[in-house]
Structure 1
Amino acid sequence: MELSRKPTTGAARSGDPYLPAHGNGGYRVEHYELDIDYKLAANRLTGRAVLTVVPERPLSRFSLDLAAFRVPRVLVDGKPAKYTQRSGKLHVTPARPVADRFTVEVRYVGSPAPVSSRWGDVGWDELTDGALVASQPIGAPSWFPCNDHPSDKATYRITVTTAAPYTVAATGVLVARRRSAGTRTWVYERVEPTASYLVSVQIGRYDEVVLAAGPVPQVALVPARLRKDAERDLGRHPAIMTALEGFFGPYPFANYQLVVTDDELEDPIEAQGMSIFGANHVDGRRTHERLVAHELAHQWFGNSLTIADWSHIWLNEGFATYAEWLWSEASGGRGAAVHAREWHARMAAKPADLVLADPGPARIFDERVYKRGALVLHALRGRIGDERFFALLRGWAGRHRHATVTTAEFVALAGRHAATDLSAFFTEWLHKPALPDIAVKGR
C-alpha cells in the first residue's frame, strides 16, 4: 500500500552554511524561460519568467528569490496563484498543492538594480551606455525570479528585446534574432545545466570579433574604439583554449563569448560560456592575459563543475588561478614553479588565520583562497608527478561534468589517482590555517 504524502511548505531558506537566506528548499528548477523587454534610457525591465519545477515532496507553498520588482501576476500550471513579497522573497501559494513537475509563471516589472551584499553590489547594473549582469554570488534575483543557490542548476532560454542599435549577449548559444520598429530581439539557449549566478545578459554598442570559428566558436564583443587593442590582447585566445583543453579535457560548452565593456570594471566576471572584462583590461600589450586564462578556466571549474555550496569556493578560484600559471608556462613565460615560489613567499607573510576548505562567508573572495588554492595544486603536482596530476585534473573535470562538487570528492579522487594515502597532505593544506612548506623545483 502506498502511503499518502501530506503537502508541506517549501522552505524559504536554502540551508547553505554561508548564505542560508539565498535559495529555497523543497524543489529544484529544471528549466527557465526568461522573456524580458529592457528600456535602456529609463532603466525599465518588463519580464515574464516561466520556471519548470520538480518538487521534492508535495508542496502547498514555495518561495522564489526576487528583488524589489512589482509582480502583477503569478500562475501555477496556468492557474492564478496567491503570492506575497517580502525581504527579497516571492512566496507563492498555488490554488492546489503541487506534487509532480509543474510550471510557475511570474510577470514582473521595475527598475533593475544591483543587490547589496558584504562583497559590494552584485547583479544587474547600468553602464554608461548599456547594461551588464555580474551576479556572483547572490545577484541573480536582481533581474529574474529564481532559486538562487549554486547547487540548483537548470537549462535556460533567454529572450531579450531592447533598442536596435545595441548588441545583446546572453548565456547560451544565439538561436534567433529579429528586428521590429526601433527594437531588436535576441534569443539564446543554454542546454547545459547552469547555476543562477552564472546566467548573464550584456547590452552595449559592440563590434563582433571572431577569435575562432571552431571547433569551439570563440567571439569577442568590444567597443569600436577598443577593437584594435582587443584584437591583439585576445589574439592568442584560441591557443589558450587549446592549452587548457590539453590540461583539463574537452571544453564543456558549445560556445564561448568574451565581452569588453566600454566602462572600466574592478574585476573580470565569469558567466556560463562567457567572460566579461572592463575597458581597463584592454591595453594592446596583453598586460592582462593571465585574467583571460583565469576566466576561461572557470568554464571547467566553477561553471561545468559547480560547487555544492560556497564553502568549497577554492575549487573554483584555486583551479582558475593555477590555470594562469599553467598558461604562463605553456606560452613560454614564467614556469608554474616560479609563480608558486613567489606566491608561497607572499602567502607566508600574511596572517595564518584562514582555513582553505572553510574560509567563512566574509572571506570567500580573499586573495588567499585564490593563491593558496593554486599552491595546493602545485604541491600536489610535485607530490604525485605530472602524469598522475594531469590525469587527475582531466578525470575530475570529466567525471563531474555539469554536476556539483565538494572538496571531499576531489580529495577522494586525488587519492585514487595517486594510489597512496594523501590524507595528511590535504589535512595540512585544506583544514589547517598554517601554510605548509613547499618544495618547488624547476623554472
Structure 2
Amino acid sequence: MGLNRKPAVGAARSEDPYLPAHGNGGYRVEHYALDIDYKLAPNRLSGQALITAVADVPLSRFSLDLGPFRVPKVRVDGRPARFTQSQSARGGQKLHVTPARPVEGRFIVEVRYVGNPAPVPSRWGDVGWDELTDGALVASQPVGAPSWFPCNDHPSDKATYRISVTTDAPYTVAATGVLTARRRSAGTRTWVYERAEPTASYLVSVQIGRYEEVGLAAGPVPQVALIPARLRRNAARDLGRHPAIMTALEGFFGLYPFANYQLVVTDDELDDPIEAQGMSIFGANHIDGRRTHERLVVHELAHQWFGNSLTIADWRHIWLNEGFATYAEWLWSEESGGRTADAHARDWHARMAAKPADLVLADPGPDRMFDERVYKRGALVLHALRGRLGDEPFFSLLRDWAARNRHATVTTERFVQLAGQHAGTDLSEFFDAWLHRPALPGLTTGDR
C-alpha cells in the first residue's frame, strides 16, 4: 500500500548561513539552456531559460532567483504555470512558480524574461551583469547570477550549461564553455557555448566587447586571450608565460580540470580580476607590458582547480578558494626564479601578525569573506602544512584533494580529514590553531 504524501512547498531558502536570501530548497538543477538576445545601446536583454531540474520531494511550488525583469511567461513541463515575483526582506529577488500540477523527479521549467540588466547591490559592491564603456561583462561572485538569468543561486548546486548570446555583429562574445557554433545574420551574430562540467551559477559568465583573439597555447588545453587591439603588444609580454604557468600548476595540482581556458581583458579598468568557469577576466589596468600583475594571472588560473572544479559547499569555506589560489602565486614565484614561497610566507606572516587577531579563518563571517586575511592566512596554512608534512607528501595531498573532488563540492572538514590521512597522524591541533582560533600561530623553523 502506497503512502499518501502531501506535496511539499519548495522553500525559498538557502542552507548557506552567509547568504540566506539566495538559493532555493526542494530541487537541484541539472542543466541550463540560456538563449539571450542583448542589444548594447539600450542595454536591453531578452532571454529564454530552459531549466532541467530534479525535485527531491513532490513540490506544489518552487522558487528561482531572478532580478527585476519583466516575466511574460513561465511553463513547467510544457504547461502554463502561475508565478509571482518578490523581493525578500533579506535582499534576494525571487520568481515563485506554482505549476499546474506538483512536480516530482525530473522536470523542465521555461522562463521568458526581458528588461535592462543591472548589477545586484551587495555588501561587497555591485556584482553581476554590468555595462562597459563599449560592451558588457558579468562578474557574479558571490550573488550576481540572478542579474541576468533565473537560477538556483547557491554554490553547491552545480549544473551543465548551454549559452546562446545574440548581439551586435561588430562585437565578440565570450561565455562560459567551449564555443560550439557561431552564426551571422543581418547586423547581429549569435555565439553558442557549452559547458559540460558541473558549474556553480556564480561562475557562469558572458563577456561582450571589441576583442581580438590571441592564442596562448594550442594544447592539450587550448588557451586563448581576448584583448582590445590597443593592448595587444603589452599583452604579448604580460601573458607570454601563460603556457609555462599552466604547466607548473598542473605539476602542483594535477591535470587542468576543464576543456579550455579563456582569458578576457576588458578595455575598461577593473578593481580586481574575476574568475569564472574556464575563464578569467582582467581590466586594461592589469596589462602594462611589464608583467606587474602576473601573480594575478596565476591566482585566477589556480581558481580553476580551487573554487571552480572544487566548489565550496557554502561561503564559510571560502579560504579553500582564496588561500589555495594565493599559495599558487607563491609557488609560481619560486618556480619562475623569483622570491621563494618561504620568503613570501615570512613576509605575509609578519604583516598578518600586525593586524587585529579577530578573524576565524574557517568561518570569517559574511562581512569578511573577501578580507585580505582570508587570502593570506589561508596561504599561510598551506605553507605551514607543507613544512609539517614535507614537500612530497604535501604536493601528493594537493593532487589527491583536487582529483578525488573533481567537479564536486568541498568543505574545510573534508580537507582536514584528507590531510590527516596523508600525514599519517592526527593534525587536529594544527588545524584548530590555524583555522578555528583568531590568534595567528607562529611559523616554526621546520616550515618551508
TM-score for the superposition, normalised by structure 1? 0.99
How far is 1:440 from its partner?
5.1
The corresponding residue for 2:62 is 62
Does structure 2 conserve the Cα–Cα contact (< 8 Å) formed by 1:341 and 1:440?
no
Q: Deviations over 1:221-255 (max 9, x none)?
A: 00000001011100100000000000000000000
- Correspondence 1:241 to 2:252: no
Alignment match of 1:250 (pick from 255, 273, 288) = 255
Taking the aligned partners of 1:4 and 1:411, their CA distance within structure 2 comes to: 43
| Percentage of identical aligned residues | 83
| 2:209 corresponds to 1:188 | no
| Match status 1:84 vs 2:84 | yes
Deviation at 1:3, TM superposition (A): 2.1
Q: Residues 398-431 of structure 1, C-alpha deviation per residue, up to 9 Å, x if partnerless?
A: 0000000000000000000000110000000000
For 2:73, the aligned partner's letter is R
Q: Where do 1:25-36 residues align within 5 Å?
A: 25-36=25-36
Letter in 1 for 2:61: R
Contact 2:75/2:81 (8 A) holds in 1: yes
1:327 counterpart letter in structure 2: W
Tell me which residue corresponds to 1:52. 52
Report what 2:351 is aligned to.
346
Write the deviation string for residues 304-346 of structure 1: whole angstroms up to 9, x where unpaired: 0000000000000000000000000000100000000000000
Unmatched runs of 5 consecutive residues or more in structure 2: 88-92
Equivalent in the alignment of 2:16: 16
For 1:162, the aligned partner's letter is T
| 8 Å Cα contact 2:117-2:147 kept in structure 1 | yes
Contact kept in structure 2, 1:7 and 1:58, CA below 8 Å: yes
For the aligned residue pairs, the C-alpha RMSD in angstroms reads 0.8
Residue 157 of structure 1 contacts residue 189 of structure 1 at CA under 8 Å; is this kept in 2?
A: yes
Q: Find the counterpart in structure 2 of residue 42 from structure 1.
A: 42
Aligned residue for 1:101, secondary structure, equals strand
Residue in 1 that maps onto 2:417: 412
Q: Distance in 2 between matches of 1:223 and 1:381?
A: 41
Question: Hey, what's the Cα distance between the residues in 2 that align with 1:156 and 1:411?
Answer: 32
Structure 2 letter corresponding to 1:82: R
The one of 208, 230, 237 aligned to 2:235: 230
CA contact (8 A) 1:39 1:45 kept: yes
Cα 1:111–1:381 change in 2 (3 A) is same
Alignment of 1:246-325 (within 5 A): 246-325=251-330
Inter-partner Cα distance in structure 1 for 2:4 and 2:29:
24
Between the aligned partners of 1:38 and 1:142, the Cα distance in structure 2 is: 14
Find 1:155's aligned residue among 155, 160, 176. Answer: 160
- The letter for the 1-side match of 2:294 is E
Aligned pairs (5 A) from 1:137-216: 137-216=142-221
Paired letter, 1:320: A
Q: CA deviation at 1:274?
A: 0.1
Which of 131, 136, 145 is the aligned partner of 1:131? 136
Give yes or no for contact 1:337–1:441 (8 Å, CA) kept in 2.
no
Q: 1:11-68 CA distances to partner (integer Å, 9 max, x unpaired)?
A: 1111211111100000000000000000000000000000001001000000000000
SS of the residue corresponding to residue 191 of structure 1 reads: strand
In 1, distance between residues paired with 2:32 and 2:138? 17
Amino acid at match of 2:410: V
Distance 1:8 1:441 in 2: 56
**Structure 1 segments of 4 or more deviating over 3 A?**
440-443
Secondary structure in 1 matching 2:128: strand
Partner of residue 112, structure 1: 117
Given the alignment, which residue of 122, 126, 140 partners 2:127? 122
Q: CA deviation at 1:392?
A: 0.2
Name the counterpart of 2:72: 72
Match for 1:394 among 399, 402, 410?
399
Secondary structure (helix, strand or coil) at the match of 1:401 reads coil
Letter of the aligned partner of 2:405 in structure 1? H
For 2:64 and 2:279, the matched residues in 1 are separated by 25
- Match of 1:116, SS state, is coil
State how far apart, in whole Å, the 2-side matches of 1:391 and 1:20 are. 36
CA distance in 2, matches of 1:255, 1:100: 32
TM-score by length of 2: 0.98
Within 2, Cα distance between the matches of 1:33 and 1:69? 18
Contact in 1 for aligned 2:383/2:447 (Cα 8 Å): no
Partner Cα separation in structure 1 for residue 94 and residue 193 of structure 2:
27
2:417 aligned counterpart, secondary structure: helix
Distance 2:76 2:145 in 1: 22
Q: Tell whether the 8 Å contact from 2:118 to 2:147 is kept in structure 1 after alignment.
A: yes
Deviation at 1:441, TM superposition (A): 6.6
SS of equivalent to 2:208: strand
Q: 2-side partners of 1:326 and 1:29: how far apart?
A: 36
Aligned length: 443
Task: Tell me how far apart the structure 2 counterparts of residues 253 and 227 of structure 1 sit (CA, whole Å).
Answer: 26
Cα contact 2:311–2:409 (8 A) shared by 1: yes
In structure 2, the CA distance between the partners of 1:329 and 1:186, relative to structure 1 (3 Å rule), is same
1:442 is displaced (CA, Å) by: 8.8
1:427 matched to 2:432? The reply is: yes
Measured in 2, the distance between the counterparts of 1:259 and 1:332 equals: 27
Structure-2 residue corresponding to 1:218: 223
Amino acid corresponding to residue 372 of structure 2 in structure 1 = E
Q: Say whether residues 1:334 and 2:320 are aligned partners.
A: no
| Further displaced range: 175-184 or 10-19 | 10-19
What's the CA shift string for 1:80-113, capped at 9, x where partnerless? 0000001110000000001120000000000000
Deviation at 1:5, TM superposition (A): 2.7
In the alignment, the residues of structure 2 paired with residue 345 and residue 327 of structure 1 have an alpha-carbon distance, to the nearest angstrom, of 21
- In 2, the alpha carbon distance for the partners of 1:174 and 1:202 equals 13
For residues 394 and 149 of structure 1, the distance between their equivalents in structure 2, rounded to whole angstroms, comes to: 26
**What displacement does 1:2 show?**
3.6
Q: CA deviation at 1:4?
A: 3.2
What is the SS of the residue equivalent to 1:99? strand
